């Protein structure tokens, strides 16, 4: 199946401080057509460094994984959804649905899935953003993926 997971990014919709990016390396265990496959990858989240309680932040998601594409992949051929867990002063999770590869990828090239979602930051304190479950569809096959082991937060926003 040759899809690639990339990085997740967060940006503030309401007035926010400067953006800060973080990348987390992780391995996903993916169930594809009755087979379980391990896919190492990276998730990058770009989040505002600061926000105010009640602000809505936009979560820009980009996912990349190794190995690279096993075949040529047309633009928008891969779709996905990433769950992003909110921790620290934040609770719950948000879904970054509609992820896709925005550009065609040649065989051997890096596949990056991109998309966005939003989250409301309700409570003062440090809110962390951690990549969690992933669903990906490509070429008629669907994969449901879970992180293997503990995953560190990819970004933190200080909410006042």
Q: What is the CATH number of the domain that holds 40?
A: 2.60.40
Q: Which pTM does this prediction carry? A: 0.85
Phi-psi region of 86 (alpha: psi -120 to 50; beta: other; left: phi over 0): beta
> Does pLDDT of 5 surpass 80?
no
Is it the case that residue 66 has pLDDT exceeding 60?
yes
Is 31 inside any structural domain? yes
Q: Is residue 1 in some structural domain?
A: no
pLDDT value at residue 21: 73
Per-residue pLDDT averaged across 53-82, rounded?
90
pLDDT value at 123 more than 80: yes
Domain that includes residue 20, residue range: 6-155
Q: Is the per-residue pLDDT at 26 higher than 70?
A: yes
What's residue 18's pLDDT?
66
Domain count, the chain: 1
């Amino acid at each position: 199946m040759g899809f690639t997971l990339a990085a997740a990014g967060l940006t503030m919709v309401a007035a926010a401080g400067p953006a800060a990016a973080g990348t987390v390396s992780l391995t996903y265990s993916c169930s594809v057509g009755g087979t379980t496959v391990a896919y190492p990858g990276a998730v990058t989240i770009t989040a505002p460094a600061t926000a105010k309680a009640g602000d809505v932040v936009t979560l820009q998601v980009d996912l990349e994984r190794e190995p690279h594409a096993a075949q040529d992949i047309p633009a928008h051929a891969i779709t996905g959804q990433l769950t992003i867990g909110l921790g620290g002063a934040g609770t719950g999770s948000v879904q970054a649905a509609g992820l896709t590869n925005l550009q065609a990828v040649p065989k051997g090239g890096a596949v990056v899935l991109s998309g966005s979602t939003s989250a409301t930051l309700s409570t003062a304190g440090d809110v962390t953003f951690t990549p969690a479950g992933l669903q990906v569809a490509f070429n008629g096959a669907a994969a449901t993926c879970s992180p293997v082991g503990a995953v560190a937060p990819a970004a933190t926003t200080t909410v006042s």
